[in-house]
Amino acid sequence: MVNLVALQMTSAPSVEENLDTVANEMASAKIEKNSLVVLPECFAYFGGKDKGQLAVAETKGEGVIQRRLSALAAQYQCYLVSGTFPVKTNSPEKFSAACILFGPNGDVLADYRKIHMFDVSVNDNTGSYRESATTEAGSKVVTVETPIGNIGLAVCYDVRFPGLFTAMGDIDILVLPAAFTQRTGEAHWHALLQARAIEKQCFVVAANQSGVHANGRETYGHSLVLSPWGETLAERKTDVGLVSAKVDIAERETIKQNMPVAEHNRFRSHFV
């Protein structure tokens, strides 16, 4: 059995405050060895000006965010997905949204950079979102084989692009850190996540931001764990905290044998 855990946060524009929230929530839950813990998108800094992320961006392999998360993973001997945090790029005007998987000894097992930029208009307090103005898009599909299963990494707006998930091949667990807006979350959050779970026949752990943030942005919450059949195994509505479900990864095999979707698929992604 594997304990799949999502941490729902109302992140502030303070790296120290947000890191303390993560540490305190993990301590209160007494995270079990070999659990998979997923943080939300922008967990380390959210609710300030977009360029504020540039000010706290770290060099890969260095910085307080990466040190604290590595130490927490090692302390609880768990797998810890960093949500996203800003990592420096070659451009002084842009950072990349890094989603890093730390292993039970604190080592980096995978490094995914958000591919799809949220450049949209939404009928909410913010109105216009232009993520590409400050964020450099990634280009690599990332999966990693671990003792608890094959894990695929994606972030927030990525969930709307099924080609990305086809390109992952067979995965046991999909992790999706997010900062889904209140308006888009109400309309599409559950439907999109269920679709990904059903089509991939995998477990999904989706950790979302929740509530009204310092800059007035509203996020939807409803962090959850889904089964490969699309069932909701656990969900946290809007309050901050952990939501978890213990699962048997081997349950996927029965579903895949009874309905061999991957074998029947006549289309293949050319995304590399």
Q: What is the set of active-site residues?
A: 41, 114, 156
CA nearest neighbour of 178 among 163, 193, 168: 193
3-state SS, the chain, equals CEEEEEEEECCCCCHHHHHHHHHHHHHHHCCCCCCEEECCCCCCCCCCCCCHHHHHCECCCCCHHHHHHHHHHHHHCCEEECCCEEEECCCCCCEEEEEEEECCCCCEEEEEECCCCCEEECCCCCCEEEHHHCECCCCCCEEEEECCEEEEECCHHHHHCHHHHHHCCCCCEEEEEECCEHHHHHHHHHHHHHHHHHHHCCEEEEEEEEEECCCCCEEECCEEEECCCCCEEEEECCCCEEEEEEECCCHHHHHHHHCCHHHHCCCCCCCC
Residue 181 tokens read as 């807006």
Do 132 and 97 touch, CB atoms closer than 8 A?
A: no
Q: What is the C-alpha separation between 150 and 173, in angstroms, rounded? A: 6
Q: What is the C-alpha separation between 177 and 196, in angstroms, rounded? A: 14
